[in-house]
Structure 1
Amino acid sequence: MTVIIPSLPHAHLSAPPLPMSILRRLPFHSLTPCHYRPRRRFATLAAVRQDTTVWTPTPISSIDTAAESLFHISIDVSSSPDLAASHTLPGQYLQLRLPDVEKPSFLAIASPPSLAASSGAFEFLVKSVAGSTAELLCGLKKGDVVELSQAMGNGFNIDKIDPPEDYPTVFIFATGSGISPIRSLIESGFDADKRSDVRLYYGARNLRRMAYQDRFKEWESSGVKVVPVLSQPDDSWTGESGYVQAAFSRAKQIHSPKGTGAVLCGQRQMTEEVTSILVADGVSSEKILKNF
């Protein structure tokens, strides 16, 4: 999901003089100084808030196609140890800004925190949307420089579903590019192999739109059963079809609601409906983790 941040002026906060032809038509109260004072105060405060973001120039290491309309982007943060160290939890995100583009994007970090520590890299799964900053980003090449803020957000609070013996069942849900922070979670490790039932329901329109298929075997070897769900599969597809929430409803088998946790990221309707299903079956809403 890409969030647009408005650009706010840093100068010329007072209103420009009006032409005399307009001044003659305005009532007296429209010209008093107090008419502009709140706007000036708001603009000043907003500008101060915007100035608190620390931007770090970083080069792109690689841009590769991950799936249809999805791109795998790796950014080198090896020369920015403070930036690399800011990524401490799976599910965190940051802002990315391009040269000569006023509006930055919020991007979830797809790589586990350990990758920044060991290899000095942040990885992202970016959906190219026409007319967006993300589209411009996906059109860049190796060596191009972008600016990153420090990682932010509380990520997925896995402590709420630990220890694994108390929460042997964990259901994970993702749709589209929402798989990005879920990848970070799985590859960070949350003792999936010590739990009896860990399932990832991953929804996409079709296999061409499904990223990270080359990682599924690795994820399953770590204890996560991957259940791809296609909403518009071709005739050769024999797996789950429809929407993620429907596929889960057909095979949920929640044996112990008190020992069940969940992690969700993706399309809003999916997260709302899955949450309703889980809560109705007795799963505590505090054990349903989101990264926002």
Structure 2
Amino acid sequence: MILSRLKPLRHHLCRRSLALSAAAAAVRQESTIWTPTRLIKVTPAAESHFHITIDVADSPDLASSYTKAGQYLQLRLRDPYARPTFLAIASPPSIAASKGVFEFLVKSIAGSTAELLCGLQRGDVVELSTAIGNGFDIDQISPPENYQTVLIFATGSGISPIRSLIEAGFGADKRADVRLYYGARNLSRMAYRERFRDWESSGINIVPVLSKPEDSWTGERGFVQAAFARAKRILNPQSTGAVLCGRRQMTEEVTSILVSDGVASEKILKNF
């Protein structure tokens, strides 16, 4: 008797929970201030990835809301059937201030809002929320002379806010050991390779890690966390910080390695 009564009660509670979640999401969407903006450019960045540039020059409040690398925003299309999507801003805040644009790296996933976005043309209108999130709290690993080692980890389109961080600057050239472990399936999936030389000249040692490379590939193979585990070389955990963005498994496993090696958890920066 008790079980037979509990089953319909559980079903009712589950439905009620789903209804409340949907209602909360609807309230959040209703409270979001949306600003119409126009696309300037949609160009290929890598296999299944696109550079998206959006004009925010006529929306000073929107442009000024972006203050820290690692922030993101919501974007929605004028298609009533397309859900809003969250996008990390790839360009540094200075670009919004000087050129009046936001730049994004977007992975086109079949059936998603991102796929529709990547199919748009110059001049098409999309709507943006203001920039949200705390971004990367670089103060936690500053000044550079106190944190001589900074380890950066990114997978796939997670490189997008990492680009913002690198190009915004965090004193990489004043640190002894700054490494970027960047994971992708293969080189054709690896965005921003054209920027690697500039990033390296700013003081960053880039370690590409390919999970399914061509036979001719002589660099790191497998997953980012495994590549890091093979070559950790953390000489002083107290002067080490880290920045992570990408797949959950990667961020969890890398965090576990860093913490077990004595790196303070508050020195491991994530943007979401």
Normalised to the residue count of structure 2, the TM-score between the two structures is: 0.91
Distance in 2 between residues matched to 1:39 and 1:105, nearest whole Å: 20
Partner of 2:126: 146
Partner of 1:120: 100
Distance in 1 between residues matched to 2:209 and 2:238, nearest whole Å: 27
Q: What SS class does the counterpart of residue 145 from structure 2 fall into? A: coil
Select which of 55, 60, 70 maps to 1:76: 55
Shift of 1:131: 0.4
Partner of 2:214: 234
* Count of paired positions: 256
CA pair 195-84 structure 1, distance change in 2 beyond 3 A: same
Shift of 1:235: 1.2
Residue 160 (str. 1) matches residue 140 (str. 2): yes
Give 5+ residue unaligned stretches, structure 1: 1-37
Partner of 2:159: 179
Select which of 8, 33, 37 maps to 1:58: 37
Q: What SS class does the counterpart of residue 172 from structure 1 fall into? A: strand
Distance in 1 between residues matched to 2:161 and 2:227, nearest whole Å: 21
- Cα RMSD (Å): 1.8
- Name the amino acid aligned to 1:104: P
Identity %: 73
Shift of 1:100: 2.0
CA pair 247-48 structure 1, distance change in 2 beyond 3 A: closer
CA pair 62-247 structure 1, distance change in 2 beyond 3 A: same
CA pair 268-159 structure 1, distance change in 2 beyond 3 A: same
Normalised to the residue count of structure 1, the TM-score between the two structures is: 0.84
- Name the amino acid aligned to 1:211: A
Q: Following superposition of structure 1 onto structure 2, how do residues 1-292 of structure 1 map, counting pairs within 5 Å?
A: 47-101=26-80, 102-292=82-272
Distance in 2 between residues matched to 1:42 and 1:180, nearest whole Å: 29
Distance in 2 between residues matched to 1:117 and 1:52, nearest whole Å: 26
Shift of 1:214: 0.2
- Name the amino acid aligned to 1:107: L
Q: What SS class does the counterpart of residue 228 from structure 1 fall into? A: strand
Shift of 1:39: 11
Q: What SS class does the counterpart of residue 194 from structure 2 fall into? A: helix
Distance in 1 between residues matched to 2:21 and 2:93, nearest whole Å: 37
Structure (1/2) with the larger helix percentage: 2
- Name the amino acid aligned to 1:99: R
Shift of 1:250: 1.0
Q: Which protein shows a greater Rg?
A: 1
Distance in 1 between residues matched to 2:21 and 2:197, nearest whole Å: 52
CA pair 43-274 structure 1, distance change in 2 beyond 3 A: closer
Partner of 2:4: none
Give 5+ residue unaligned stretches, structure 2: 1-16
